[in-house]
Structure 1
Amino acid sequence: MLNRTQEPVFKQIENIDFIKAEKYLLKNEIPVFIVNAGEQELVRIEFIFKNKAWELEKPLMPSITNAMLTEGTHSLSSAQIASKIDFYGAFFQTDYNHDRSSLNLFSLNKYLANTLPIIKEMLTGSIFPEKELKILLRNQNQKLKVGLEKNANIARRAFTSALFGDTLYGYANQLKDYDQVKRENLLAYYQKVYQPKNCSIIVSGKIEKSVLALLEDLFGNWEGFADKEDLKVDFKSSQEKLHYIEKPDALQSAIRIGIPFVNRKHPDFIGLQVLNTALGGYFGSRLMNNIREEKGYTYGIGSGIASLEKAGYFFIATEVGVDVTQNTLAEIEKEVNLLKTELIGDGELSLIKNYLMGSLLGSLENAFSHADKFKNLYFFGLDYGYYEKYIHTIKNITPQQLKDLANQYWDYNSFYKIIVGKM
């Protein structure tokens, strides 16, 4: 019988094994990365493209182009595409972020020969039909209208704008932008970006030899041109540190605080992740203990480090009652400064290290998650040695090193502070 009055034995995580991606090149030199694992006859194939040529005058081109890939080709309507994919029990989705856009297929191995040609047609023969485009723009416009009613969304938009200005990383979409989207501009962007020379393919799941052969047959002869223009993000942060957007009828204030920061390629990034975890990176963090558990000002507060390809940022985010907005800001400042003036205790640091190691191990549950970890390396020009350094840093970082990092990177007076609501 299990003795439930006795704590289970606690064991330190010593090593974490990664399923490493194997690289292949198709005949036209499209790189294919294979993460082969799992028992289920299921595969995920991601076609990933770097975003290019973002223009302030046409800010929605990358995201709308990616969203429209599924809306019709020369021979298939959007309904026919969805019906064919659904018939084989498969699933597809587009994915977009500031740096890259992708079209992803989830399919059983035995039906891949039926589903993958449909994906090829979307990547090589999308036509951006006017009817579907109008519907998409109307839906996106309405979604933005609803989003602009929420203080948290307004704060997030104002925050990235303050940090990165009118660049792809900082620009906040406006309602008028949807009225300016033209089909011919989408086609031009599509023809520039969705090219074999700008494509990487990542395959994960239970991979049979036939999968690579099928990719070679369908995409190895895909011809196109190489657009050497890279995405540029030359940003200039706002000179104003405090951005207050008053909402007279607000019951809560949305708070977002932070600064432009290092990204995953920087040697201090891993140590700063440990430091951030102490401040607000997990449920037992100092911000949660103080502002939620002790003060009761909020349901949740957290901090994080966002790693973009050409930049990064550190942020603290929460929503609190308008009557405690000022008190919350004071407590956030106090917690930041404590990490700069006092050493983290051994017990707290041990808990943080165990949490981070457990989170890393728990995030590697299947082939898809191993592929996601590989993407964190590949698109930042890193190798698997990064994760060896990650584990070593977490295990060995000291309270003094964390205090030094806090003093080097955190100056509360230099933080951008966005408050939407009432102060």
Structure 2
Amino acid sequence: MIERTLAPAFRQVENIDLIKAEEYSLDNGINLFSINAGSQDLVRIELIFNNVNWEPSKPLQAYVVNSMLVEGTSTLRSHEIAEEIDYYGAFLQTDYNYDQSVVTLYTLTKHLESTLPVVKQVITDSVFPEEELSTFIRNQKQKLSINLEKNDFLSRRIFNRALFGNTIYGFSSSSEDYDKLTRDQLVEYFNLAYRPDNCTIVVSGQVNDSTIASINNHFGRGWDKGVSLTQNSFSFPVRNGSEHYYEREGALQSAIRIGNLCVNRNHPDFAALQVLNTVLGGYFGSRLMANIREDKGYTYGIGSALVSFKNSGYFFIASEVGANVCTSAVDEIKKEVDLLRTERIPEEELALVKNYMLGSFLGGLENAFSHADKFKNIYFSGLDYDYYSNYIQTVKSINSDKLLELANFYLNFDSFEKVIVGKK
């Protein structure tokens, strides 16, 4: 009989095999990367554009252009774009982050020749109709007004500005910024950024020679380079650990966000810091969760994360707690950070974290799309697949002495930016 009172023994993950991307060059020079896997007749095609020419006077250009790409071309209105894509059971979406703007198509491979022309129109012939722009601005201002009532939303804005200043990473939109938007600004940025020499294509799923040829036919020909552009590049001064308190009268909960500038994926310490972060607040069994949720009952959830951008990285701890226990929660957070700087992590706890991290990495490779996501992480950081080999080896081999050393170097609570929105 199975002894159900005993937990099963750990088995450490030995080998993790990544499906490596194959590289192609389209006729006009676009780099295309293919992840061929899966048995279903399905592909995901991502056209990825770097965000460029950041101007504080026109802070919303890249975001709004990406958001409005599907709102109409010179021959198709927004509902016609949607109907054309839906007819073939496909899905077209746009995504924006601080470093990149993305247009993604999910489609059956047999419908590529019917859906790709629509995508081609979207990325080469969007016209940003005035009527649609007015509707977009009105909706965004309403969303912003609602979000500004949320403590967590405000804490993120204040924290990002504290770390990154008036850059694309630290910018906080206002109603006035939307009022200043014009169609001419959108057309200007669209013509500047959405062009082949600023584009990378990643296709994943059931990819064959016919798929590549079809993509080349639509995006490798008849799409020319534009005028010169400037890649976004920023640097940030070291912060001294300021406190930012935004009081909300009558608040029942307070949002807490604490952290500082840190290394990004390019730094040799990044993988080891991910282990340290996981111990502190990177999974449900972390120290922050065990103390502040399970033991003290101050919150439903608390966590920490290490974030990598193109130009920087940062570490943060975030939670929402009862306003009456806010100060106590911050004290407990400090206590847990300081413990990592003064005491070695017990071997049993570290072994659990290592198994969790390796299992999560392996579990995150369930299909071709997730393998493509892993590729994008390294490619746009200027790294190769050795990064993942080094990551796995670091997780397996790192010891408590090294983590204690890293904690003393990177986790100085006094130097963290500390944001509280609500009531102390």
Give yes or no for TM over 0.5.
Answer: yes
Q: Quick check: 1:344 aligned with 2:306?
A: no
Q: 2-side partners of 1:39 and 1:98: how far apart? A: 34
Q: Which residue in 2 is equivalent to 1:13?
A: 13
Q: 2-side partners of 1:411 and 1:302: how far apart? A: 17
Alignment map for 1:253-402 (pairs within 5 Å): 253-402=254-403
How has the CA–CA distance of structure 1 residues 383 and 180 changed in structure 2, closer, same or farther, with 3 Å as cutoff? same
How far residue 225 of structure 1 moved from its aligned partner, in angstroms, is 2.4
Q: 3-state SS of the aligned residue for 1:359?
A: helix
How far residue 5 of structure 1 moved from its aligned partner, in angstroms, is 6.1
Percent identical pairs in the alignment equals: 55
- Could you state the TM-score of these two structures normalised by the residue count of structure 1? 0.98
How has the CA–CA distance of structure 1 residues 345 and 5 changed in structure 2, closer, same or farther, with 3 Å as cutoff? closer
How far residue 226 of structure 1 moved from its aligned partner, in angstroms, is 5.4
Q: Which residue in 2 is equivalent to 1:205?
A: 205
Once the two structures are superposed, what CA deviation does each residue of 1:108-162 show, in whole Å capped at 9, x if it has no partner?
0100110011000011100000111111111111111110000000001000000
Q: 1-side partners of 2:10 and 2:335: how far apart? A: 34
How far residue 236 of structure 1 moved from its aligned partner, in angstroms, is 4.6
Letter in 2 for 1:44: R
Q: 2-side partners of 1:10 and 1:160: how far apart? A: 39
Q: 1-side partners of 2:96 and 2:202: how far apart? A: 16
Q: Which residue in 2 is equivalent to 1:175?
A: 175
Q: Which residue in 2 is equivalent to 1:184?
A: 184
Letter in 2 for 1:421: G
Alignment map for 1:39-188 (pairs within 5 Å): 39-188=39-188
Letter in 2 for 1:413: D
Is the contact between residue 165 and residue 238 of structure 1 (CA under 8 Å) also seen in structure 2? no
How far residue 216 of structure 1 moved from its aligned partner, in angstroms, is 1.3
How has the CA–CA distance of structure 1 residues 280 and 28 changed in structure 2, closer, same or farther, with 3 Å as cutoff? same
Once the two structures are superposed, what CA deviation does each residue of 1:295-342 show, in whole Å capped at 9, x if it has no partner?
000000000011000001100000111111111111111100100000
Q: 2-side partners of 1:51 and 1:410: how far apart? A: 31
Q: Which residue in 2 is equivalent to 1:196?
A: 196
Is the contact between residue 197 and residue 226 of structure 1 (CA under 8 Å) also seen in structure 2? no
Q: Which residue in 2 is equivalent to 1:225?
A: 226
Is the contact between residue 166 and residue 235 of structure 1 (CA under 8 Å) also seen in structure 2? no
Is the contact between residue 241 and residue 415 of structure 2 (CA under 8 Å) also seen in structure 1? no
How far residue 208 of structure 1 moved from its aligned partner, in angstroms, is 2.2
- Could you state the TM-score of these two structures normalised by the residue count of structure 2? 0.97
Once the two structures are superposed, what CA deviation does each residue of 1:153-177 show, in whole Å capped at 9, x if it has no partner?
0001000000011110001111111
How far residue 217 of structure 1 moved from its aligned partner, in angstroms, is 1.0
Q: 1-side partners of 2:11 and 2:423: how far apart? A: 48
Q: Quick check: 1:214 aligned with 2:201?
A: no
Letter in 2 for 1:342: E
Is the contact between residue 152 and residue 319 of structure 1 (CA under 8 Å) also seen in structure 2? yes
How far residue 10 of structure 1 moved from its aligned partner, in angstroms, is 3.7
Q: Which residue in 2 is equivalent to 1:31?
A: 31
How far residue 7 of structure 1 moved from its aligned partner, in angstroms, is 4.7
Q: 2-side partners of 1:209 and 1:373: how far apart? A: 23
Q: 3-state SS of the aligned residue for 2:68?
A: helix
Is the contact between residue 167 and residue 234 of structure 1 (CA under 8 Å) also seen in structure 2? no
Is the contact between residue 63 and residue 96 of structure 1 (CA under 8 Å) also seen in structure 2? yes
Q: 1-side partners of 2:176 and 2:213: how far apart? A: 46
Q: 3-state SS of the aligned residue for 2:244?
A: strand
Q: 3-state SS of the aligned residue for 1:127?
A: coil
Is the contact between residue 243 and residue 417 of structure 2 (CA under 8 Å) also seen in structure 1? yes
Q: Which runs of 5+ in 2 are unaligned?
A: none
Is the contact between residue 162 and residue 237 of structure 1 (CA under 8 Å) also seen in structure 2? no
* Number of residues of Structure 1 aligned to a counterpart in Structure 2: 423
Q: 3-state SS of the aligned residue for 1:133?
A: helix
Q: Which residue in 2 is equivalent to 1:242?
A: 243
Q: 1-side partners of 2:106 and 2:254: how far apart? A: 41
Is the contact between residue 241 and residue 416 of structure 2 (CA under 8 Å) also seen in structure 1? no
RMSD value, Cα: 1.4
Q: 2-side partners of 1:219 and 1:281: how far apart? A: 40
How far residue 57 of structure 1 moved from its aligned partner, in angstroms, is 1.1
Does 3-12 or 318-327 show the bigger shift?
3-12
How far residue 12 of structure 1 moved from its aligned partner, in angstroms, is 1.6
Q: Which residue in 2 is equivalent to 1:419?
A: 420
How far residue 50 of structure 1 moved from its aligned partner, in angstroms, is 0.3
How has the CA–CA distance of structure 1 residues 39 and 166 changed in structure 2, closer, same or farther, with 3 Å as cutoff? same
How far residue 219 of structure 1 moved from its aligned partner, in angstroms, is 1.4
How far residue 237 of structure 1 moved from its aligned partner, in angstroms, is 6.5
Q: 2-side partners of 1:6 and 1:318: how far apart? A: 34
Is the contact between residue 51 and residue 193 of structure 2 (CA under 8 Å) also seen in structure 1? yes
Q: 3-state SS of the aligned residue for 2:163?
A: helix
Is the contact between residue 167 and residue 235 of structure 1 (CA under 8 Å) also seen in structure 2? no
Once the two structures are superposed, what CA deviation does each residue of 1:2-41 show, in whole Å capped at 9, x if it has no partner?
7766654542210100000000001111000000000110
Q: 1-side partners of 2:216 and 2:262: how far apart? A: 41
Q: 2-side partners of 1:280 and 1:7: how far apart? A: 24
Is the contact between residue 164 and residue 237 of structure 1 (CA under 8 Å) also seen in structure 2? no
Letter in 1 for 2:253: Q
Q: 1-side partners of 2:8 and 2:208: how far apart? A: 41
Q: Where has structure 1 moved over 4 Å in runs of 4 or more?
A: 1-9, 236-240
Is the contact between residue 37 and residue 207 of structure 1 (CA under 8 Å) also seen in structure 2? yes
Q: 1-side partners of 2:65 and 2:156: how far apart? A: 24
Once the two structures are superposed, what CA deviation does each residue of 1:53-90 show, in whole Å capped at 9, x if it has no partner?
11111111010000111000011000100000000000
